[in-house]
Amino acid sequence: MLNKPLNTTLINVILSIVIVILSFYTILWHNQNYLLYKKTKKVQKENQKIIALHKQLLTEYSSQISGKSIKEEALKTLQMKRPDKIRELIL
């Protein structure tokens, strides 16, 4: 008789210890997820800044390639005139 209540008490103690340990692991897991979420948001903001800067640099580079600055320089220094009439070719 004494052995049976002792076994149930031992099982209850072991189960309660396991529950407490799992609770601590759950708290730690939640904290790590929160820290990872904060780090992810920070990295995403930095990536957005980098992408915006990259787009700006591409825009500036494409305007240089297109000859816009060359055309403006030619108009200023060489005193070239802009065309009066522009013909459109309709396809």
Q: Where are the domains of the chain?
A: 25-57
How many Å apart are CA 7 and CA 12, to the nearest integer? Answer: 9
Tokens found for residue 76: 């200023």
pLDDT band for position 28 (50/70/90)? very high
pLDDT band for position 1 (50/70/90)? very low
pLDDT value at residue 4:
75
Residue 21: name the closest of 11, 33, 29 by CA.
29
pTM of the model: 0.52
pLDDT tens for each residue of 3-22: 677 788 899 999 999 999 99
pLDDT tens for each residue of 41-88: 999 999 999 999 999 988 888 777 677 667 777 777 777 666 677 777
pLDDT band for position 89 (50/70/90)? low
